Amino acid sequence: MKFKWTLLTIIIIVVTALTGCEPLTALDPKGPQAERLASDIMLSIGIMAIIVIVVFALLVVMLVKYRSSNQKEDYEPPHIEGNVWVEAICVGIPILIVAYLSFVSVQSNYIVEAQPKGYEDKEPLVVYASSSNWKWHFSYPEEGIETVNYLYIPTDRALEFRLYSHGPISSFWIPQLGGQKYAMNDHVTILHLAADVPGEYMGRNSNFSGEGFAENQFNVKAMPEDEFNEWVDEVKATAEPLTEKKFNELLEPGHLGQLTFTGTHLKFSPPLEGHHDQESSDAISDSHKESSEHSQKNQ
């Protein structure tokens, strides 16, 4: 009796704790890439649930039907060397499940790595998303503006994020719009996303990058394209220009609020795009050296 009350108390505590958890944003997609990933997650959960139910059902049948009290006192189990059908089922079904999930995963990987379908009538909005300890810098080269720790995007238009890092490896992730992708400091990686629904979403660095990792987050706001264009015009009219000196200050380790600038750091601190070979490495090294000397002269 005491054991039953203890078990009931544990169940109530677990249920109460789970009701306070935040909803899984990855299963609340607001874009085509995220919808594909969410469907794959639910498919995997469904297959695993079926496996668990079947296994536990068989376990109950075995425990009830073949328990010792169900047999005669003089019962002796027969000598069995093996059953081809049972072995084929036990080996074949897992192989089929793994093969099917592998096929779905590879197919989905090609889909989410490509530009979202249905947005071919407009050129994608290119945004350079770069990380530093412990902030996110968003450069809009076509619009000529830059933000820190927040991102505004238009809905119903393809988005092309070009990711890189000014420090350790980070991982760019907006769960409701798509999967994560790494941002590294020696080349640029491309992530294609799109937002179908206006709203505010959470983005973050999902790769541990030091003591400030937990707060390495950014806010995302998706809006109709007309509102996005109005915001761009407002930034150009009111924000201060981003200078090389100011940008170098922003790269210092620490946390900041949301900042907005006209111009981007791409003019004086461009990322390394393309293949990382020795020639390009030397060119970038010389560029950084010249930039450093220029900065020292200005100081």
**Domain-located, residue 35:** no
Q: Residue 35: pLDDT above 70? A: yes
**Domain-located, residue 65:** no
Q: Residue 36: pLDDT above 80? A: yes
For residue 15, CA distances in Å to 4, 11, 19, 109, 271 come to: 17, 6, 6, 35, 48
The CATH number for 161's domain is 2.60.40.420
With 0.85 as the threshold, say if the pTM is over it.
no
User: Average pLDDT of 34-58?
Assistant: 94
Mean pLDDT score across all residues of the chain? 86
User: Average pLDDT of 3-26?
Assistant: 68
**Domain-located, residue 261:** yes
**Domain-located, residue 282:** yes
Task: Name the token pair of 258.
Answer: 């949301």
pLDDT tens-digit profile of 98-131? 999 999 999 999 999 999 988 988 899 999 999 9
Which of 11-20, 24-33, 160-169, 231-240 shows the lowest per-residue confidence on average (mean pLDDT)? 11-20
Size of the chain, expressed as the number of residues it contains: 299
**Domain-located, residue 94:** no
- Residue 274: exposure state from Cβ atoms within 10 A (0-12, 13-18, ≥19): exposed
**Domain-located, residue 59:** no
**Domain-located, residue 267:** yes
Q: Give the domain extent around 222.
A: 125-289
State how many domains the chain has.
1
**Domain-located, residue 136:** yes
